[in-house]
Amino acid sequence: MGLPVKFVERMSRELGSSEAEALCGALGSEPSTSVRLNPFKKFSGKWSARPIEWSRYGYMLDERPSFTLDTAFHAGAYYVQEASSQFAGYILSQVFGGEQNCRGVRVLDMCAAPGGKSTHYASLVGLEGLVVANEINRSRAAVLADNARKWGLGNMVVTCNDSSRVAAFEEWFDVVAVDAPCSGEGMFRKSDDACEQWSEANVAMCAERQWEILQNAFKALCAGGALIYSTCTFNRTEDEDIVSRLMEEAGDEIVEAPEIEVNPQWGVVVGRVGVFQTFRFFPHKLNGEGMFMAVAMKAGERPLRRRTPKPKRQAITALDKKSCEILSQWVEPSAEMRYFAAGEMLYGCRKEHYADIEALSGVLAVIYSGVAMGQIFKGSLKPDGALAMYVGLRRAQVECRELDEEQALQFLRKQELSAEWFNEGINMVLCNGLPLGFVKRVGARVNNMYSNSLRILK
């Protein structure tokens, strides 16, 4: 379908007729396809691709494959993330003076589903860092949790809350990222719905929602912390005007971040709105979709200690010694882990994350944290599928069975599997060395333990 007339008119006024014509032409072309590799899993890619200049593990593909039928995709070896979107990770690494200095950082991704930026931040902060990925929509939060499981780092907490509730963790995060829900002008060539649903009234509605979220996000940011604001729209009402409004509200409390270096050859349009350094992504200037990003910092020094809200409930329970001993056999190094129960599921997390997960679970609706390990029956662990994806899994603990691509797709579809492929008892399914999940063989019968929410339907 054609682009909205009022959108075209506005872009002509803002960019000039020739630039607007080039932009609209690009919005009518085929979208690009890009991925970002998981640096904690052994996979180098198998496509014809070129590196994305601003993303260490990002690649622009020459053509779009069938990701649904790629076992490496289901193993969490890579994420299909748009190239422009990956620039948020570049901002994070540059603010802290390089990727190595991001280790151990605590990040809040306020509008996180489906998880592209969240998993990127999780890779950058390392296993010792923590990413709280919040999504207000329950069904989208469930997809976000599935992607956290597949990414397998165990350093993510997925929450489902209004931004005002997250703001209770006042000045708690080193980085707060807001990829705000927007009118979606930058996605016109990827989504017919974005064109159909666009209107000036919707732009105004989005702007008010963005302002509310950004105010709450700023409350959660600690002194000396970085604020990253982004949208996938070109509209200044939702972009520059929103960050300008925050500057007016925050006054001296918000300051410039270290300058983010951008190679002019990348095609990113760099600007400034007061203390915010801004970045615009136009698909006629670079190989990526339309986006806006901005970065600034909260004034002051990062605190050594941070106040945690008083818990409203006890949502997690530390496990007894015997249960911990059973679970510790499945991970390495086990000395770095703690274990807890949330409902009927048993979880593991790094020791330094336990108090944070306990605090978050006592105030917010947490739907996933650390790594889901499974349940203990008669002294043995029935492993959850997330444990197979976990990068700290001790493979010597379980029978590992390598399947070929077609056999692995049968597993991922939850189709009937041959008992001859497996040994008696619990087996972990691998394809090309990448774990996919578990089965249990009992005689001639094979129980496929793969999650129904992840099952391939085609």
* Strand 399-402 with 425-431, pairing: parallel
CA atoms within 13 A on the CB side of 199: 5
Angle at 230 (CA atoms; ends 114, 295), nearest 5 degrees: 130
232: annotated active-site residue: yes
3-class DSSP state of 74: helix
- In terms of Cα–Cα distance, which of 259, 245, 240 is closest to 297? 259
- Which of 102, 160, 222, 232 is catalytic? The answer is 232
- In terms of Cα–Cα distance, which of 303, 344, 348, 307 is closest to 325? 348
The string of DSSP codes covering 184-212 is: -GGGTTT-HHHHHH--HHHHHHHHHHHHH
Question: How many other C-beta atoms can be found within 10 angstroms of the C-beta atom of residue 197?
Answer: 12
- Residue whose structure tokens are 């949330």: 342
- In terms of Cα–Cα distance, which of 83, 43, 91 is closest to 59? 83
| DSSP 8-state code for residue 23 | H
- In terms of Cα–Cα distance, which of 101, 105, 391 is closest to 221? 105
Catalytic sites, residue numbers:
232
